[in-house]
DNA sequence: CTAGGGTTAG
């Protein structure tokens, strides 16, 4: 009963009950301590700790992990040093405290000297190195393990995913299946997140199949992860089905749904879901509002977005954070209301950050305001001198107004500062295999076929009235050569490969690591009409659904 | 009653 109250965060009830207990044993004292500790009230926890007539390992460890979980690392260490006896849980709690504070040296020191390590100790270290981005160290620990459980595998897979090694994550998944490891809900959650990250829909669907086979429902995190996976893999229909199957929808479920529709350019749908969410009595949080505002932004619902921004505080008691201001600046900027966006930047309750200037830079790119773009970019350079993406954006801005001298200066700046442009690449999954393409790819085995097809397509497109927008290419080169370079952008190659190799009725899903360029965007619109295909492109910013010659972003991205 | 993994936005 007591721990039931504690677990449901009904600490006041727990306390009343505790005070009326005729006999308070050590377990009831410990329940109170851990209750306060885990709810962040270390003052009360300490109070009960001091008052408790006798203390065992549980008592001390509850205090230790309480301090650790509330960011009080030094206090946690003091408890650890003072405790009269320690079991493996205490050791693991202390290691976990270091891990949470990214102090891997201290964590490994303890790990090496602890008297008996169990599987949790190993798992904590793998997780720690994974989260710290030290993926080789994580693997070193993982490889040394004698026994692995579901958590060990998920920790390692999650480490690969979160450090951008999606393919290694999937390989390890295959190895895990081959090893006959049992999977639990968390392993599935983790796998969905990996599939979402690198957008491998077919693989994700197979994992979904395994989830069903294992007899797990869509409760807790798994359902939400599945939902996010379908959205991030570009399959809205499957996402909707998953949404319907999640019986207990929590705030994350709704947020995923709203943000998902928003990223795909279906702002109206996102707002419908937001409406439904409120009708079913789920209280929106800050993340919800980021989704709602970005839905308005991507759909061009400017006034509605401004209203939602104000309603945050008035109707939902939420204080707008930096993210929300960024959305608002983006919203105004995209709609061409640059003056309002600029004045909002001046009246911010805090210093504008790089992403806000980035939103302004994006807006000035769309509306060809070179001066504002230049000013924004300079601010970004001050705040983030190594941001390669910003050099490219500014460079394109100059190029589009023909200021080749400025473009040249930027290139020199990039070289002097050692800023490297992130190479663009695109990929597509066909028959369970991922095909990668880079600009002007020369390594794909079917390149001859792809290029021939693109040439052929090019003629048809010219007949249909398509004019390449060569001004966005970074260099000042001869027109013909520029056009040639554009034709071979990675997203075009991936799309061509998809058309050549996929059943005509199926959508072509392509993922690009950077933002799609304007010319490719125009070209793919045209291709969707000529070839009568649905082409779904995920770029670093959002989704584009090309169909019948137009895009779901309505050229507004 | 104490330790380990997982979901949404930018």
Tell whether the model's pLDDT for residue A476 goes beyond 60. Answer: no
Chain segment A371-407, per-residue pLDDT in tens: 888 888 888 888 887 777 777 777 777 777 777 888 8
Residue A20: CATH number of its domain: 1.25.40.10
Angle (CA) A424 A501 A423, round 5°: 5
Contacts of A68 (CB under 8 A, 6+ apart): A76, A93, A94, A96, A97, A100
Q: Which has the closest alpha carbon to A415: A391, A390, A448?
A: A391
Distance A328 CA to B9 C1' (A): 14
Query: Who wins on pLDDT, A203 or A273?
Result: A273
Find and give the residue nearest to B4, measured CA to C1'.
Answer: A120
Q: Is the pLDDT of residue A481 over 60?
A: no
pLDDT confidence tier of residue A1, bands split at 50, 70 and 90 = low
Whether residue A543 lies inside any domain: the answer is yes
Q: Tell me the pLDDT band of A474, cut-offs 50, 70 and 90.
A: very low
In this prediction, residue A478 carries a pLDDT of: 44
Query: Which secondary-structure segment (H or E) carries A429?
Result: strand A425-430
> Which residues touch A534 (CB under 8 Å, ≥6 apart)?
A507, A508, A528, A545, A546, A547
Per-residue pLDDT tens digits for A241-293: 999 999 889 999 999 999 999 999 999 999 999 999 999 999 999 999 999 99
Q: How far is the CA of A541 from the C1' of B7 (A)?
A: 20
* Residue lying closest to nucleotide B9, CA to C1': A287
Nucleotide nearest to A91 (CA to C1'): B3
Higher pLDDT, A536 or A474: A536
For residue A284, what is the DSSP state?
P
Q: What is the mean pLDDT of chain A?
A: 89
Give CA–CA dist A2/A31, Å, rounded: 7
- Our measurement of CA A167 to C1' B5, in angstroms, reads 19
- Is A448 within the bounds of a domain? yes
Shortest CA to C1' contact from A157: nucleotide: B5
CA–C1' nearest nucleotide, residue A194 = B6
SS3 A541: coil
User: What CA–CA distance (Å, rounded) separates A102 from A162?
Assistant: 15
Helix A88-100 vs helix A104-113: crossing angle, to nearest 10? 160
Whether A210 is in a domain gets the answer no
**Is residue A475 very low, low, confident or very high in pLDDT (cuts 50, 70, 90)?**
very low
Nearest nt to the CA of A27 via C1' is B1
The pLDDT value given to residue A6: 61
In order of A336, A392, A394, A396, the CA distances from A368 in angstroms are: 10, 15, 11, 11
Q: What share of chain A is helix, strand, coil (3-state, %, to 5)?
A: 65, 5, 30
Backbone torsion region of residue A428, taken as left when φ is above 0, otherwise alpha when ψ lies between -120 and 50, otherwise beta: beta
Nearest nucleotide (C1') to alpha carbon of A322: B10
Q: What do you get for the CA distance between the two ends of chain A, in Å?
A: 54
Å separating the CA of residue A225 from the C1' of nucleotide B8: 9
Identify nearest nucleotide to residue A224 by CA to C1′ distance. B7
Out of A86, A117, A148, pick the residue that ends a domain.
A117
| A487-536: pLDDT as tens digits | 578 999 999 999 999 999 999 999 998 888 888 899 999 999 999 999 99
Distance CA A527, CA A533 (A): 8
CA nearest A152: which of A175, A217, A167?
A: A175
Query: Nearest nucleotide (C1') to the CA of residue A187?
Result: B6
Tell me the longest C-alpha to C-alpha distance in chain A: 91
- Closest CA relative to residue A162, chosen from A126, A201, A203, A111: A126
Integer-rounded Cα Rg, in Å, for chain A is 27
Q: Is the dihedral of CA A287, A265, A491, A225 positive or negative?
A: positive
**Tell me, what's the pLDDT at A393?**
73
**Distance measured from the CA of protein residue A148 to the C1' of nucleotide B4, in angstroms:** 12
**Nearest nucleotide from residue A188 CA, by C1' atom:** B6
Q: How many angstroms is C1' of B9 away from CA of A398?
A: 31
Round to whole Å and give the CA distance between A319 and A316.
9
Q: Which of the listed residues A117, A148, A168 is the one where a domain comes to its end?
A: A117
Does A368 reside within a domain? no
pLDDT of residue A266: 93
Find where tokens 């991936």 sit: A494
Residue nearest to nucleotide B10 (CA to C1'): A323
Which residue's C-alpha is at the least distance from the C1' of B5?
A151
Of A308, A230, A242, A240, which is closest to residue A271 (Cα–Cα)? A308
* Residue A329 included in any domain: no
Distance A291 CA to B9 C1' (A): 6
Q: Which nucleotide is nearest to A69 (CA to C1')?
A: B3
DSSP string of A31-78?
HHHHHHHHTT-HHHHHHHHHH-S---HHHHHHHHHHHHHTT-HHHHHH
The backbone region for A9, taken as left when phi is positive above 0, alpha when psi lies in -120 to 50, beta otherwise, is: left
Q: How far is CA A344 from CA A297, A330, A354, A367, in A?
A: 16, 11, 15, 18
Q: Is residue A314 domain-resident?
A: no
Separation in Å: B8 C1' and A250 CA:
10
As ranges, strand B nucleotides with an atom below 7 A of a protein CB are 1-10
Look at residue A48 and tell me if it is in a domain.
Answer: yes
Q: What pLDDT score was predicted for residue A480?
A: 45
User: Domain count of chain A?
Assistant: 2
Question: Which residues span the domain enclosing A444?
Answer: 432-472+479-551
**Gap from A97 CA to B4 C1', in Å?**
12
Side-chain-side CA neighbours of residue A540 (13 Å): 10
CA of A60 to C1' of B10 (A): 39
The half-sphere exposure of A45 on its side-chain side, counting CA atoms within 13 A, is 24
Is A169 a domain residue?
no
Round and report the angstrom distance from CA (A157) to C1' (B5): 10
Domain boundary among A94, A117, A140: A117
Q: Is A511 left (phi over 0), alpha (psi -120 to 50) or beta?
A: beta
Least confident of A281-295, A323-337, A400-414: A400-414
Calculate the angstrom distance between C1' of B7 and CA of A244: 16
Q: What local confidence, expressed as pLDDT, does residue A230 receive?
A: 97
Supply φ then ψ for residue A545, to 5 degrees.
Answer: -105, 110
Question: What is the secondary structure of A160-180 as a DSSP string?
Answer: HHHTT-HHHHHHHHHHHHHTT
């Amino acid at each position: 009963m007591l721990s039931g109250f504690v677990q449901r965060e009904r600490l006041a009830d727990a306390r009343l009950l505790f005070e009326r207990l005729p006999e308070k044993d050590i377990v009831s004292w410990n329940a109170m301590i851990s209750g306060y500790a885990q709810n962040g009230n270390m003052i009360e926890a300490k109070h009960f700790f001091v008052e408790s007539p006798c203390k065992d390992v549980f008592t001390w460890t509850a205090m230790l992990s309480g301090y650790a979980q509330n960011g009080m690392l030094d206090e946690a260490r003091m408890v650890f040093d003072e405790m009269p006896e320690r079991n493996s849980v205490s050791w693991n709690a202390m290691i976990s405290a270091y891990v949470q504070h990214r102090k891997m040296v201290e964590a490994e020191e303890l790990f090496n000297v602890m008297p008996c390590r169990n599987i949790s100790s190993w798992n904590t270290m793998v997780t720690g190195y994974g989260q710290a981005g030290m993926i080789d160290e994580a693997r070193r620990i993982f490889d040394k393990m004698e026994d692995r459980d579901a958590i060990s595998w998920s920790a390692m897979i999650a480490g690969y995913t979160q450090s951008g090694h999606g393919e290694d994550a999937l390989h390890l998944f295959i190895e895990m299946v081959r090893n006959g490891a049992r999977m639990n809900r968390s392993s599935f959650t983790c796998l969905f997140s990996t599939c979402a990250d690198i957008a491998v829909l077919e693989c994700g669907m197979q994992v979904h199949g395994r989830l069903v086979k294992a007899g797990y429902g869509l409760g807790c995190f798994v359902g939400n992860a599945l939902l996010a996976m379908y959205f991030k893999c570009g399959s809205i229909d499957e996402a909707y089905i998953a949404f319907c199957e999640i019986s207990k929808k929590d705030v994350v479920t709704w947020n995923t749904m709203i943000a998902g529709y928003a990223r795909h350019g279906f702002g109206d749908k996102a707002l419908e879901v937001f409406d439904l969410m409120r009708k079913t009595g789920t209280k929106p949080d800050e993340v919800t509002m980021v989704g709602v505002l970005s839905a308005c932004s991507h759909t061009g619902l400017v006034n509605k977005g401004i209203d939602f921004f104000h309603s945050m505080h008035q109707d939902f008691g939420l204080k707008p954070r930096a993210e929300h201001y960024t959305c608002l600046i983006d919203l105004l900027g995209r709609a061409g209301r640059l003056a309002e966006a600029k004045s909002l930047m001046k009246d911010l309750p805090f210093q504008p950050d790089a992403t806000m200037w980035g939103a302004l830079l994006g807006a000035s790119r769309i509306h060809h305001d070179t001066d504002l773009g230049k000013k924004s970019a300079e601010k970004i350079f001050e705040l983030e001198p190594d941001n390669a993406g910003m050099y490219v954006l500014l460079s394109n801005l100059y190029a589009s107004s023909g200021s080749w001298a400025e473009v040249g200066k930027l290139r020199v700046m990039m070289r002097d500062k050692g800023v490297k442009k992130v190479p663009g690449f695109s990929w597509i999954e066909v028959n369970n295999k991922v095909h990668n393409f880079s600009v002007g790819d020369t390594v794909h085995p079917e390149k001859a076929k792809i290029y021939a097809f693109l040439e052929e397509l090019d003629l048809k497109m010219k007949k249909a009235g398509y004019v390449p927008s060569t001004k966005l290419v970074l260099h000042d080169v001869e027109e013909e050569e520029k056009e040639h370079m554009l034709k071979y952008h990675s997203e075009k190659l991936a799309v061509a490969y998809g058309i050549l190799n996929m059943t005509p009725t199926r959508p072509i899903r392509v993922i690009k690591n950077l933002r799609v360029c304007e010319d490719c965007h125009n070209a793919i619109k045209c291709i969707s009409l000529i070839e009568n295909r649905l082409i779904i492109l995920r770029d670093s910013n959002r989704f584009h659904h090309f169909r019948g010659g137009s895009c779901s972003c309505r050229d507004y991205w």
